[in-house]
Chains A and B, each alone.
Chain A
Amino acid sequence: QSALTQPASVSGAPGQSITISCSGTSSDVGGYNFVSWYQQHPGKAPKLLIYDVRNRPSGVSNRFSGSKSGNTAYLTISGLQAEDEAHYYCSSYTVTNTRIFGGGTELTVL
């Protein structure tokens, strides 16, 4: 199964907002509200930012928000900070009871 489709890179200035898309199919993103988002800094393990499309775990800044429309999910980061510079990955549950990741998006804070 091919990875979910994310833009390879996005960028924004400090204080601005950016949105990262994650496109799948009706067999994964579109079929279930089990989309999650992860932040990964170089050399570190990923960190859960959003689960079940739009829920934030305790301790995650409210600058991170998630949404979904049809077969595409979105991660929005508002009030960009230098520390947000990282790779971001989406993931979804699938119809075959497997999980699938997006290819990842590199965020550059200008």
Chain B
Amino acid sequence: QVQLVQSGAEVKKPGASVKLSCKASGYTFTAYYMHWVRQAPGQGLEWMGIINPIGGDTTYAQEFQGRITMTSDTSAATVYMELTSLTSEDRAVYYCARGYYDFVYWGQGTTVTVSS
């Protein structure tokens, strides 16, 4: 069965960077794109970007341009999302989700806390 297992919770200081991982199993990793979506406490879902695991082509939401990088390691069936220059506004649960036009399978989420 398809599983997306994300890395553990992170606590970061303002101005720092965070790099999250999402390990896929149960399907051919290179056959499907992966999104990253975040959800601030009590708020809605926010699309961050998408990566093609083969070749690493990416499209990012304009809101994150310049401080987000998505990468893929096909040998480890894992995608990564790095977000830099963190502020309190980046406090959220971050999800990876497999799909292209939609989000079919979701990871369990990683909580990122930004606090001095």
Contact = CB atoms under 8 A, between A and B. Distances in A.
B10 interface: no
A34 B100 CA distance: 10
B106 interface: yes
B45 interface: yes
Contacts of B102: 34, 36, 48, 51-52, 91
A37 to B, nearest CB: 9
Contact of A45 (B61, B101, B108): B108
Contacts of B44: 3, 87, 89, 101-104
Contacts of B59: 97-98
* A46, A97, A99: residue with the most chain B Cβ atoms closer than 10 Å: A99
Contacts of B108: 45
Interface string A60-89: 000000000000000000000000000101
Given A89-B44, A91-B47, A104-B44, A98 B61 contact: yes
Contacts of A97: 59
B46 A101 contact: yes
Contact of B101 (A36, A40, A89, A103): A36
A97 to B, nearest CB: 5
B35 interface: yes
Given A45-B108, A99-B35, A101-B46, A38 B61 contact: no
A57 B106 CA distance: 14
A45 B45 contact: no
A98 B47 contact: yes
A59 to B, nearest CB: 12
B53 interface: no
A104 B45 contact: yes
Contacts of B106: 45-47
Interface of A: 1, 3, 32, 34, 36, 38, 40, 45-48, 51-52, 57, 87, 89, 91, 93, 97-104
